[in-house]
Structure 1
Amino acid sequence: MQELLYASAMAFIIALIIGPLIIPVLSRLKFGQSIRQEGPESHYAKAGTPTMGGIIILIALIIPVLIYGGKSPEIWLALFITIGHGLIGFLDDFIKVVLKRSLGLKARQKLLGQIFMAVALAYIVTTYMGRGTDVWVPLLGFTVDFGPLYYVLIFLVLIGTTNAVNLTDGLDGLAAGTTTVAAVAYAVIAMSFAKPDLAIFCVALAGASLGFLKYNANPAKVFMGDTGSLALGGALAAVAVMTKTELLLVIVGGVFVLEACSVIIQVVSFKLTGKRVFRMSPIHHHFELSGWSEKKVVTVFWLAGVVCSLIALIILVASQTGGI
């Protein structure tokens, strides 16, 4: 338990300390965020705010994990998936912000990187960790063996989570706050499955995200960029896979799922009917354009994240005690 407290506190403090060191560097390098013109007018003032601040989260995460997380295969794999997605996001940010190519990495380039990460994750957990290809089904309380389709599931979990967190990162503090809540929930889940090293990874992730909030909360002094959002999504997905709770992640990350589904619904509706279901997607913009302040949207979504995590933990406890 002490290691959990130390790891989370260290990650939080490191983020607080290095934030004022890294943010001015990002500003001097002109790593400023561009704001899409079709977005809410209140966001125009954010143009030029330094991005790629996910570097702060990654540094604050890695150091305490290496110190307190032991040398278990789960720790190294979680770091590999997290850093790997962070690098994909960094390249995307660098191309968009520094090289001034608005689309960043091409879709197929980003997809290839994510496919590599998914295959590596699935291969390592099934071949070297004895994970198997079975998946626990929440509420129903039994497992289903996916066989070769397990690789497809891992890919969907990884690409779905990373892109959902990326879509959530549209308001000051929204993605960082919801990730903090989800990471705490997964620390509890990891402990329930007797994986203390993964729990340390999760609390360090929560501490780093919470420390980053000091500079990312409204009005944000820095944005995490794809560097941060893809890394955070990769981290949560990796932990879900290694705790055999891939489907439970859908509940823990309910806010992320809502954001992603709102985009899918909007696109499908517009293509089929020419009409939009929401004023703007992702759905946090819909609430903004409906008259909610940015701070209100973020606060409500944080609370929704807490509710989702509590529901997931209740389901987990009930299933372990025979209640479900």
Structure 2
Amino acid sequence: MTVWILVTAALGAALSWLSCRFLVLPLLRRRGVMDRPSERSSHEVPVVRGGGLAVLSGFLPAAVLGMLGYGLASGEYGLRSLVTFDAPGFSVLAMGIAFGFIGLVDDLDSLSASTRLLAQVGVGIIFAAGVMLLLGVGFFAGAVIAVSVVYVVNAVNFMDGLNTLITGWTLVCALWFTLLGALTGSGSIAIAAVALALAAAAFLPFNTNPAQAFLGDVGSYAIGGATVALAWMSWAFGMPVVAVLAPFVVPAYDVLRTLIVRMYLGENIFQAHKSHLYQRMHQAGLSHETVARIHAGAALVCILASVPAVLTQGWAGELVAVSIWLLVLVFYSYGPRFVKEHRAKEHGSSSNNAGGRA
């Protein structure tokens, strides 16, 4: 399995970088698919929107070739799985494709909010039905799965407001699911995850400030769909709940907290805004990349906190994970205030030094 994981990783990175450099960016520029600055934007000049096509261009073919190669070599599954989705990794690809298509249509033709939501719910229900058949769970579990799909996809989209933030988070998240797939012995999950991780990593240079391209809805929706599928498939193959939830703790909290605060303040939650914690850290003076590193670091701490639960498969490990998550969220919530206070101290120190010299 290790050889196929490494081959898939190299292929995903190469295809993503090459397609972005020589195909996706030139094509989108010619088509005029640009993200114009708005009230919600953190950029000041138009930037190519839809760069997530490059991530998909690396993720999909690398994962398909890697999974088929591994399946045929190991005898775990065969060509039939490409059509029947017998291997769990293929359901991850299907979710990436389905949500990527919804996002692409929105990038090119701006779907209405109701149409987007209806399409997302439809895909979520289909995926939930598949998991219900796989595990034999009831309709309540199916409803939870469908709601989680829609929530994660939109949360990833809402968090895609600063350069490298979601791209970097995807790298951390997908590498974790690569490890979980390997630990469960599911080669297709591990290979699908590593293809996504390295495809996202190859997009990072194009998404670094000043960005040449943004993921767009095609990228954020596809990443959301693929990662939530990785989570449910990993859980279905025996991983504890805290292990599959760990990468989503920080972005899910940021989105939910912002929604609750805006509703409490009587704001229109459907109106563009810059109220997320990550946006407020940027407004307080941190660069795009610094905020992205903080976000990825917080997600990594949450992931590492779940390791004891993975190793022991007991409630004590889960309690440790949840306790650390709460601490991470407290520090993350305090982030904007800490940055402001630190900047104020620096400004005061600079003013005092300037006065002393005068």
Q: TM-score, normalised by structure 1?
A: 0.84
Counterpart in the other structure of 1:175? 166
Counterpart in the other structure of 2:10? 9
Counterpart in the other structure of 1:220? 211
> Conserved in 2, the CA contact under 8 Å of 1:82 and 1:234?
yes
Structure ranking higher on relative contact order (CA contacts 8 Å, 6+ apart): 1
> How has the CA–CA distance of structure 1 residues 305 and 51 changed in structure 2, closer, same or farther, with 3 Å as cutoff?
same
Moved over 4 A (4+): 320-324
Structure 1 residues not aligned, in runs of 5+: 96-103, 134-146
Between structures 1 and 2, the one with greater helix share: 2
Counterparts of 1:43-54 in structure 2 under 5 Å? 43-44=43-44, 47-54=45-52
Counterparts of 1:2-151 in structure 2 under 5 Å? 2-21=3-22, 22-37=24-39, 39=41, 43-44=43-44, 47-70=45-68, 71=81, 72-95=86-109, 104-127=110-133, 129=134, 131-133=135-137, 147-151=138-142
> Conserved in 2, the CA contact under 8 Å of 1:89 and 1:225?
yes
State the shift of 1:291 in Å. 2.0
> How has the CA–CA distance of structure 1 residues 31 and 194 changed in structure 2, closer, same or farther, with 3 Å as cutoff?
same
Counterpart in the other structure of 2:283? 289
> How has the CA–CA distance of structure 1 residues 7 and 116 changed in structure 2, closer, same or farther, with 3 Å as cutoff?
same
Counterpart in the other structure of 1:163? 154
For the pair shown, the structure with the greater C-alpha radius of gyration is 2
> How has the CA–CA distance of structure 1 residues 321 and 192 changed in structure 2, closer, same or farther, with 3 Å as cutoff?
farther
What is the Cα-based RMSD across aligned positions, in Å? 2.2
State the shift of 1:115 in Å. 1.6
Equivalent residue of 1:50, what SS? strand
The answer to whether residue 262 in structure 2 is matched with residue 267 in structure 1 is yes
State the shift of 1:312 in Å. 2.7
State the shift of 1:89 in Å. 0.6
Aligned-pair identity (%): 25
Counterpart in the other structure of 1:252? 247
Opposite residue 195 of structure 1, the aligned amino acid is S
State the shift of 1:321 in Å. 11
Q: TM-score, normalised by structure 2?
A: 0.76
> Conserved in 1, the CA contact under 8 Å of 2:240 and 2:313?
no
Opposite residue 66 of structure 1, the aligned amino acid is V
C-alpha separation between the residues in 2 aligned to 1:250 and 1:7?
Answer: 25
CA deviation map 1:244-291 (0-9, x unaligned):
26943432222321331232133222118x9xxxx9422211111222
Equivalent residue of 2:132, what SS? helix
Counterpart in the other structure of 1:191? 182
Opposite residue 287 of structure 2, the aligned amino acid is S
State the shift of 1:168 in Å. 1.3
CA deviation map 1:12-59 (0-9, x unaligned):
11111111112122111111102223555xx21xx3210111110111
> How has the CA–CA distance of structure 1 residues 112 and 282 changed in structure 2, closer, same or farther, with 3 Å as cutoff?
same
Counterpart in the other structure of 2:226? 235
C-alpha separation between the residues in 2 aligned to 1:246 and 1:323?
Answer: 10
C-alpha separation between the residues in 2 aligned to 1:246 and 1:107?
Answer: 34
Q: How many residues align?
A: 292
C-alpha separation between the residues in 2 aligned to 1:297 and 1:322?
Answer: 32
